[in-house]
Amino acid sequence: MIGDTAIFREFTWNMALPKEVHPGCAHVWAMRLDARESSHLISSLSETEVQRACSFVFAADRWRFIRSHAFLRRVLARYLGVGAAAIEFTYGVQGKPRIADHLRSSQLEFNLSHCERLALVAVTSQLSVGADVETVRPLPDFLDIAKRYFTKQEYAKLTALPETEAYKAFFRCWTRKEAVIKALGCGLTMPLHSFEVTLSADKPARLVSGEPALIPFRDWSLIHLEPLDDVVGTVAVPLKKVAAAGFLLADW
């Protein structure tokens, strides 16, 4: 669809699925995460990824890492036409991963995000992409966080909402900001309050304003995501109109 929200349809790996993403489009792949043992997926990971997985103290965190990174590899393998284990990555100055140059004939760009309940991979062609996803949950200090990291206008809009609506609005705002920063590859060097986004349920996802020196692209698409009832997210692409398709894995 062209617009502000990606609609997700469930899929299994044996279905006929896209193997190419056209310029001006974004494919958004999602998978439910749980803490179950997933040792059968380790063989697709790199040695570095296995070491990172082993560094987690809690088994639940370790298996979520393994499942989300194996999912990323399997998604990318469809487009690249190689085995999941053969995919290699390089990393930008701020740590944003990219597909290694010798595999980049397709000019694929991607971004991975995950929360407690979901892993999400956004894929584009020829355009940088950022993705962020969060589980909507009560945060006792969410207004303090918003006052510190959001713009004055965003904070005012958030505090005007009833608390039952404010939690979701907070995470809409947070994921939209994180997705833009990840698309730019800025990491922690770009303050969240240096640009403004919409956050209300009755407003389309938009980048409202920002400092041109920090956000060099004039046009942006912010694609709102709600793949599960208690999960919200955003995909950000520096292009005015983007056709977005969402795919939610039934089981793995």
pLDDT band at 217 (very low <50, low <70, confident <90, very high): low
Asked whether residue 156 is domain-assigned, the answer is yes
Query: Mean of the pLDDT values across residues 17-33?
Result: 95
Q: Mean pLDDT across the chain, nearest whole number?
A: 92
- Structural domain range at position 223: 8-249
Q: Encoding tokens for residue 89?
A: 């990555």
Asked whether residue 220 is domain-assigned, the answer is yes
User: How many domains in the chain?
Assistant: 1
Beta-carbon contacts of 24 under 8 Å, excluding residues fewer than 6 positions away, are 239, 241, 242, 243
Q: What is the pLDDT of residue 1?
A: 40
Q: What is the pLDDT of residue 213?
A: 66
Q: What is the pLDDT of residues 156-187, one digit of tens each?
A: 999 999 988 999 999 999 999 999 999 998 87
Query: Mean of the pLDDT values across residues 13-22?
Result: 93
Higher-scoring residue by pLDDT: 92, 147: 147
Q: Is the pLDDT of residue 52 over 60?
A: yes
Query: Mean of the pLDDT values across residues 191-217?
Result: 86
Asked whether residue 145 is domain-assigned, the answer is yes
Asked whether residue 51 is domain-assigned, the answer is yes
Asked whether residue 184 is domain-assigned, the answer is yes
Q: Is the pLDDT of residue 111 over 80?
A: yes
Asked whether residue 3 is domain-assigned, the answer is no
Q: What is the DSSP letter of 132?
A: E
Asked whether residue 1 is domain-assigned, the answer is no
Q: What's the CATH number where 32 sits?
A: 3.90.470.20
Q: Is the pLDDT of residue 21 over 60?
A: yes
Q: What is the pLDDT of residue 63?
A: 94
Lowest mean pLDDT among 33-37, 148-152, 169-173: 33-37
Q: Encoding tokens for residue 223?
A: 């694609």
How large a percentage of the chain has pLDDT more than 90?
78
Q: What is the pLDDT of residue 238?
A: 93
Return the exposure string of 152-172: e unless at least 16 CB atoms fall within 10 Å of the residue's CB, then b: eebbebbeebeeeebbbbbbb
Query: Mean of the pLDDT values across residues 216-225?
Result: 87
Q: What is the pLDDT of residues 112-144, one digit of tens each?
A: 999 999 999 999 999 999 999 999 998 999 999
Asked whether residue 132 is domain-assigned, the answer is yes
Helices (H), the chain: 47-54, 59-80, 142-149, 152-159, 163-184
